């Protein structure tokens, strides 16, 4: 068996053959699973969830708050996020293309209204919303319920006859358990068909994440912040230095070391925000960022946090990335258009 894939950056298409394939495609899981031999049953009940981001001064919290909507009983939360607070989430059936999911005006008002219910002094308005994001949960259908909020948060694991292993459902807090079960299922199948290669025991539970490699046994975050100030006190302001430490951990030193070779990298991406251009270069060289969307949405998160969602600096970032990645003028313009389209989609609810 195998898959035919398309490189979205180069448009190149090619085939990959394997004895077993893992189908971890979220809300597309049923669609992929039903390409397998003898599979026709749909197990998912996709639901849409959205979040809104507001300035901390509109809703200042010391800790995450969990509550229940007074009308429908759905679980909601508000979480402090640096100079922002984000609020979520909705939970509604969704049968459209997951690639097109976006917040609606009804979704945003739903979250603003419940925030004012629990925090009446905030007087939150939809105009206070800086950004939104939306996603589709691949929840496992509960055949005995018509309530989308009652779908199971447990995960679903299925081995098809041809070696396709499907994992769907679940939640972020059980990701390690889900991953281990998938690997075990693949190993079991490969052993049965006589194709199991030599393997070793996993030790991922003892492997530190990149930002924790070299983490000091004493002092922790405080030691790192002090060391950063001593090394780079003249290069960075306090706000930027603290952001880098909290974002990258021990790798903050690697980010700032780039400035020694190019002083331009200490410039802020946006004058009013602490993120710096060194993060753009680091994302390209160390975090496999290949698009402006990678940088502004998924690496620096300026898309969510900046008041203008980065529209004022999209040309700056695209031009700089182009100089490093050898983009021509058409590619730079394409990158800008695609990022602007993402911002417009996140704001589409305002036009309803």
- What averages of pLDDT result for each successive group of 10 residues across the chain (352 residues)? 89 94 94 80 87 96 93 92 95 92 96 95 96 93 55 81 91 90 95 92 87 90 90 90 94 94 94 97 97 98 98 98 97 98 97 88
Place of tokens 């190993």: 187
Superfamily (CATH) of domain 47-137: D-Amino Acid Oxidase, subunit A, domain 2 (3.30.9.10)
Tell me how many helices (H) and strands (E) the chain has.
11, 11
User: Structure tokens of 71?
Assistant: 């009308």
Cα–Cα distances in angstroms (integers) from residue 50 to residues 26, 137, 290, in the given order: 16, 11, 26
pLDDT at position 42, please? 79
pLDDT at position 41, please? 72
pLDDT at position 200, please? 87
Q: What is the pTM of this model?
A: 0.90
Kindly list the domain boundaries of the chain, sorted by start residue.
18-42+151-205, 47-137, 210-351
Cα–Cα distances in angstroms (integers) from residue 137 to residues 92, 104, 314, in the given order: 10, 17, 30
What separation, in Å, do the N-terminal and C-terminal C-alpha atoms of the chain show?
46
Domain 210-351 belongs in CATH node 2.60.40: no
pLDDT at position 68, please? 92
Q: Are 220 and 212 in contact (CB under 8 A)?
A: no
pLDDT at position 34, please? 87
pLDDT at position 193, please? 95
Q: Are 3 and 11 in contact (CB under 8 A)?
A: no
The packing angle between helices 314-325 and 277-286, to 10°, is 40
Cis peptide before 89 (omega within 30 of 0): yes
Torsion over CA: 240, 242, 248, 251 (sign):
positive
φ, ψ (nearest 5 deg) of residue 276: -120, 165
CA distance 149 to 162: 34
């Amino acid at each position: 068996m195998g898959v035919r894939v398309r490189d979205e950056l180069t448009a190149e298409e090619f085939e990959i053959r394997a004895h077993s394939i893992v189908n971890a495609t979220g809300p597309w899981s049923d669609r992929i699973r039903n390409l397998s031999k003898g599979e026709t049953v749909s197990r998912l009940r996709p639901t849409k969830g959205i979040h809104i981001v507001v300035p901390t001064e509109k809703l200042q919290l010391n800790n995450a708050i969990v509550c229940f909507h007074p009308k429908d009983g759905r679980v909601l939360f508000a979480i402090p996020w640096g100079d922002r607070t984000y609020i979520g989430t909705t939970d509604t059936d969704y049968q459209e293309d997951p690639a097109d999911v976006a917040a609606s005006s009804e979704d945003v008002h739903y979250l603003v209204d419940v925030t004012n219910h629990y925090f009446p002094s905030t007087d939150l308005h939809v105009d206070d919303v800086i950004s939104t994001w939306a996603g589709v949960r691949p929840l496992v259908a509960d055949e005995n319920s018509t309530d989308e909020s009652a779908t199971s948060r447990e995960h679903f694991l299925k081995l098809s006859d041809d070696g396709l292993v499907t994992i769907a459902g679940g939640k972020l807090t059980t990701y390690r358990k889900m991953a281990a079960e998938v690997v075990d299922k693949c190993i079991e199948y490969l052993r049965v068909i006589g194709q199991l290669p030599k393997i070793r025991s996993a030790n991922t539970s003892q492997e530190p994440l990149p930002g924790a490699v070299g983490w000091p046994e004493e002092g922790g975050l405080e030691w790192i912040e002090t060391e950063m100030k001593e090394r780079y006190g003249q290069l960075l302001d306090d706000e930027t230095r603290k952001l880098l430490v909290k974002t990258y951990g021990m790798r903050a030193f690697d980010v700032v070391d780039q400035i020694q070779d190019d002083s331009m990298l200490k410039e802020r991406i946006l004058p009013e925000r602490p993120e710096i251009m060194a993060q753009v270069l680091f994302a390209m060289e160390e975090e496999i960022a290949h698009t402006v969307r990678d940088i502004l949405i998924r690496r620096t998160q300026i898309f969510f946090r900046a008041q203008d969602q980065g529209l004022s600096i999209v040309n700056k970032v695209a031009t700089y990335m182009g100089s490093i990645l050898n983009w021509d003028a058409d590619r730079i313009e394409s990158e800008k258009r695609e990022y602007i389209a993402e911002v417009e989609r996140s704001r589409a609810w305002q036009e309803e």
